[in-house]
Amino acid sequence: MYGQGILTGLKITFKYLFRPPVTQNYPTVKPILSARVRNSLSLGPEKCIACGLCAIACPNKVITLTSSKDANNKKVLESYTMNVGYCLFCGLCTEACPTGALKVSPDYENSVEAAEELIWDMMKRAKRR
């Protein structure tokens, strides 16, 4: 039949036309996210033993950390940075952390205007929380 494709398309269009909208007005209405969502990372510097297992486990080499030894010959975390522009948010770094210092968090408002802002100083971010 001539025009069958148009009729099929219009049938689908009318089927979706009378459904309630699924979009949300984002700044005013915050989305309800699943408990298992991985949008951001958070660090507990007091728990970190500066072992470097998270940096080794990261497939994109996003994590850079520096440490020093204190008077008791124990490692102390000096700095912890992440280049989140290359991060996959796969969670392998959090699984490798033996103390649970690095965790995934459901924070999703991580947009920035400049690429330089994608390099996170996790020590400063931990102090803000």
49 domain-assigned: yes
Return the amino acid letter for 86. Y
For residues 15 and 96, the answer to whether their CB atoms sit within 8 Å is no
Give percent of the chain with pLDDT exceeding 90. Answer: 57
118 domain-assigned: yes
108 domain-assigned: yes
Q: What is the pLDDT of residue 1?
A: 65
CA atoms of 62 and 32, how far apart (whole Å): 29
Q: What is the pLDDT of residue 39?
A: 87
14 domain-assigned: no
Which distant-in-sequence residues (6+ apart) come within 8 Å of 119 by Cβ?
81, 82, 83, 84, 85
Which distant-in-sequence residues (6+ apart) come within 8 Å of 39 by Cβ?
33, 89, 104, 105, 106, 107, 108, 110
* Distance of alpha carbon 18 from the chain centroid: 36
- Report in angstroms the alpha-carbon separations of 33 from 11, 44, 73, 93: 33, 23, 44, 22
- Give the predicted TM-score (pTM) of the model: 0.74
Q: Which of 1-5, 77-81, 84-88 is predicted least confidently?
A: 1-5
CATH number of domain containing 50: 3.30.70.3270
Q: What is the pLDDT of residue 126?
A: 83
25 domain-assigned: no
2 domain-assigned: no
| Total domains present in the chain | 1
- Report in angstroms the alpha-carbon separations of 41 from 53, 78, 102: 16, 18, 7
- Cα–Cα nearest to 119, from 94, 93, 85: 85
17 domain-assigned: no
Mean pLDDT of the chain: 90
What SS3 state is found at 78? strand
87-116 pLDDT, tens digit per residue, is 999 999 999 999 999 999 888 888 899 999
Residue 119's domain comprises: 33-128
35-63 pLDDT, tens digit per residue, is 888 889 999 999 999 999 999 999 999 99
16 domain-assigned: no
